[in-house]
Amino acid sequence: TYLWDVYGASITLNQTLWDFGRTLGSYLAARDQERAARAGLDATWNSVELNVRAAYYTVLATEALVAVADQTVDSNQRQLDLARGQFEVGQRPRFDVTTADVNLQQSLISQITAHDGVILTRIALSQAVGQDVSRRPLSMPTVPQDIDLEVTHLMEEALAARPDLRAVDLQIAAADQNLSAAKSAWYPILGVSAGYSWNYVRPAADFNSWNILGTITWPFLNGGADMARVDVQSGVLASTRASRDLLLLQVRTDVEQAVTG
């Protein structure tokens, strides 16, 4: 009777050689989505800057209205004093005095409203910049006078400078790559497999073997999941392109309103 001790070990390595764009398409889509996210961050910063600028100029506008309201009150006060003096000497009727007094009271109301507007717009500016600027002096920025107001030229500058448009272009590229990756599921996956096996039988001998094989994997039946993924990615691509068209219309509207305003 012989007693045999058997020992063995094996290792197998599998490597995909080409999958007709599955992996590459997914990688490129992820890269474009990451770039789109960075462009979206730039768009967010632009939006913050726009809100701060709008709040700043609104404060300047309301302060200008306060100056106008103060001047109107002073003017109406002088008109009332003149009407009263002329009424007392019999040169004007009491109706003129009443009219001047009504005008003064209305201008006082407008003055109060203007001062309240400054307080409210200062609060909005403080919220926009994240710190209290309710008492800080503001100066009017210098506005360049040689601005080219030709719509076509401004559209070119806007399209080149808008990070949100760059973001949606990258989203379109990512959606297109995802669609290509989804369509590649209809094709086989080519690969290679290498294996090594070691066996030892005591007291006889040991046996070693290795092999390299080419592999092909082709999922013929997938329950319609591949077709559904293609349809989904096609819809995503069409939707993203429509969003770009809408954004282009919005950019043109913004430019034309800025020029005509």
C-beta separation of 64 from 40 below 8 A: no
Query: What pLDDT, on the 0 to 100 scale, is given for residue 9?
Result: 85
pLDDT over threshold 60, residue 51: yes
Question: Per-residue pLDDT tens for 4-48?
Answer: 667 778 899 988 888 888 888 999 999 999 999 999 999 999 999
CB-based contact 256:151 (threshold 8 Å)? yes
CB 51 within 8 A of CB 128: yes
Quick one: pLDDT band at residue 135, thresholds 50, 70, 90?
A: confident
pTM above 0.85, yes or no: no
Q: Which residues have C-beta within 8 Å of that of residue 58, sequence separation ≥ 6? A: 121, 124, 125
- Residue pair 39/163 in contact (Cβ under 8 Å)? The answer is yes
The gap between the terminal CA atoms of the chain, to the nearest Å, is 106
- Higher-pLDDT residue of 249 and 217 is 249
pLDDT tens, residue by residue, 80-103: 999 999 988 888 898 999 999 999
Whole-Å CA distances, 156 to 150, 153, 208, 240, 255 = 10, 5, 70, 22, 10
Model confidence over 182-217: pLDDT tens digits? 998 888 889 999 998 887 776 666 677 888 888 888
Give the span between the Cα atoms of 226 and 99, in whole angstroms.
82
For residue 208, which phi and psi values (nearest 5 degrees)? -120, 145
